[in-house]
Structure 1
Amino acid sequence: MNKNKKVFMWYKIKELSAQGLNQSQIKLELGIDRGTVRKYLLMNEAQFLEWISTPRRMPKKLNGYYNFVKKLLGNAPYLSAAQVEDRLKERYTNLPDVSSKTVYNFVQTVRKEQNIPKYKEKLPRQYEKLAETEYGEEAQVDFGSYRMLSRGSGRVKIYFFTIVLSRSRHKFIYCQRMPFTTESANYAHELAFEYFEGIPRRILYDQDRVFITDENLGDVLLTEKFMQFTNAHPFDVVFCKKADPESKGKVENVVKYVKHNYLKGRVFQDIDTLQKEALLWLERTGNAKVHGTTKRIPKEEWEKEKQHLLPYNGKPEKPFLKLPTHPVRKDNTVLYRSNYYSVPLGTYQDRDTKILLEEKDGKLFFYTGDNQLLATHDLCLDIGRIIKNNDHAREKSKTLQKTYELVLESLRHIPQAEQYLAEIENNRPRNFHDSLRVMQKNIERSSAEAINFALVYCYENKILNANRFAEVLNYFEKEQGLENVKHSICIETGGLNKQQNDDMQPQKSDINEYESIMN
Structure 2
Amino acid sequence: MLYLNIKDLHKRKFKIAQIAKELKISRPTVYKYLEMTFEEAKAYTEQPIGKKKKLDSYKDWILAWLEEYPHLSAAQIHDWLLERYPDLAVGGSTVRSYVREVREVYQIEKKQLVRQYEAIPEQPMGKQLQVDWGETKQKTTDRKEIKLYFIAFVLAHSRQKYMEWQSRPFTTRDAIRCHENAFQFYGGCTEEIVYDQDHLITVSENAGQLLLTAEFQSYVNERKFTVHLCRRADPESKGMIENVVKYIKGNFADSRVFRDIEDWNQRALQWLKRTGNYQVHQTTKKRPAEVFLVEKQHLKPVSSLLSFESTNNQSISRSVSKDNTIRYKSNRYSVPLGTYQTNVDNHVLIEVTGQEPATLVIRKEAESEIIAEHCVSLEKGKLIQNRNHTRDRSKGVEEFKQRLVSFFENQTQAATYFDEISQRYPRYRRDQFAIIHQVIQQYPTVIGKVLAKCMREKLFSANDFRDIAQHIHKLPHDPLKEIKPFNTYSTRRCHIKASTRSLNAYTSILGGRSS
Cα 1:495–1:249 shift into 2, 3 Å:
same
Q: Does the 8 A contact of 1:144 with 1:159 survive in 2?
A: yes
How many Å apart are 1:138 and its aligned residue? 1.8
Counterpart for residue 80 of structure 2: 87
Q: Is the 8 A contact 1:190 1:316 kept in 2?
A: no
CA spacing shift, 1:111–1:357, aligned 2, 3 Å: farther
Partner-residue secondary structure (3-state), 1:232: helix
CA contact (8 A) 1:234 1:310 kept: no
**Contact conserved, 1:73 with 1:79, CA < 8 A, in 2?**
yes
In 2 relative to 1, CA 156–393 (structure 1 residues): closer, same or farther, beyond 3 Å? farther
Residue 152 of structure 2, aligned match among 146, 162, 177: 162
Q: How many residues align?
A: 378
Task: Pick the aligned partner of 2:208 from 201, 218, 222.
Answer: 218
- 3-state SS of 1:32 partner: helix
Q: Deviations over 1:226-270 (max 9, x none)?
A: 222211224211111356312212111111111110111222233
Match of 1:321 in 2: 317
How big is each residue's C-alpha offset from its partner over 1:141-190, in whole Å with a ceiling of 9 and x where there is no partner?
10111222221151232221111122222211122233222222122222
Residue 448 of structure 2, aligned match among 406, 420, 433: 406
Please state whether the residue corresponding to 2:317 is helix, strand or coil.
coil
Which of these residues, 129, 135, 139, is aligned with residue 149 of structure 1?
139
Name the SS for the 1:321 alignment partner. Answer: strand
Kept after mapping to 2: 8 A contact 1:62/1:96: no
AA aligned opposite 1:104: R
Alignment-derived partner of residue 136 in structure 1: 126
Alpha carbon RMSD of aligned pairs, Å? 5.2
Equivalent in 88, 99, 104 of residue 107 of structure 1: 99
- 2:471 aligned with 1:435, yes or no? yes
CA distance in 2, matches of 1:2, 1:108: 17
Retained in 1: the 8 A contact 2:183–2:302? Answer: no
Residue 172 of structure 1 is aligned with which of 162, 179, 186? 162
Distance in 2 between the 1:306 and 1:250 partners? 19
Instruction: Give the match's secondary structure for 2:346.
Output: strand
Partners of 1:33 and 1:252 lie apart in 2 by 33
SS of equivalent to 1:294: coil
Q: Offset of 1:116 from its aligned partner? A: 8.3
Q: Provide the secondary structure at the position in 2 that maps to 1:217.
A: helix
Residues in 1 aligned to 2:473 and 2:177: alpha-carbon distance in whole angstroms: 56
Task: Give how far 1:405 is off.
Answer: 6.0
Which one of 59, 66, 74 corresponds to residue 66 of structure 1?
59
Q: Deviations over 1:477-498 (max 9, x none)?
A: xxxxxxxxxxxxxxxx999776
Aligned to 1:516: none
Alignment-derived partner of residue 310 in structure 1: 299
Identical columns (%) = 29
SS in 2 for 1:355: coil
- Is 1:259 the counterpart of 2:249? The answer is yes
Partners of 1:202 and 1:238 within 8 A in 2: yes
Equivalent residues in 2 for 1:68-467, closer than 5 Å: 68-73=61-66, 76-97=69-90, 99-110=91-102, 117=108, 120=111, 123-241=113-231, 244-307=234-297, 309-315=298-304, 320-321=316-317, 355-357=344-346, 406-407=448-449, 433-439=469-475
Tell me if the contact between 1:356 and 1:368 (Cα under 8 Å) persists in the aligned partners.
no
CA pair 495-279 structure 1, distance change in 2 beyond 3 A: closer
* Alpha-carbon distance between aligned partners in 2 of 1:296 and 1:183, rounded to the nearest angstrom: 35
5+ long unaligned stretches in structure 1: 15-25, 41-47, 325-343, 349-353, 360-366, 377-388, 413-417, 423-428, 444-450, 461-492, 503-519
Q: State how far apart, in whole Å, the 1-side matches of 2:22 and 2:453 are.
A: 98
Structure 2 spans left out of the alignment, 5+ residues: 37-43, 310-314, 321-337, 349-362, 373-388, 392-427, 460-464, 496-515
1:433 to partner: Cα distance? 4.6
Using a 3 Å threshold, how does the CA distance of structure 1 residues 316 and 5 change in structure 2: closer, same or farther? farther
Determine the C-alpha separation between the residues in 2 that align with 1:263 and 1:390: 48
Q: Which amino acid aligns with 1:102?
A: T
Q: How far, CA to CA, are the matches of 1:94 and 1:274 in structure 2?
A: 22
Contact 2:190 2:300 in 1 (8 A): no
TM-score (norm 1): 0.57
Give the whole-Å Cα distance in 2 for the aligned partners of 1:398 and 1:200. 59
CA contact (8 A) 2:150 2:165 kept: yes
Q: Give the direction of change, closer, same or farther, for the CA distance of 1:180–1:409 in structure 2 (3 Å limit).
A: closer
Partner deviation per Cα, 1:354-408 (whole Å, 9 max, x = no partner):
832369xxxxxxx9887979999xxxxxxxxxxxx99899966887799876336
Cα deviation 1:3-33 (Å, max 9, x = unaligned): 9969969x9759xxxxxxxxxxx75x98537
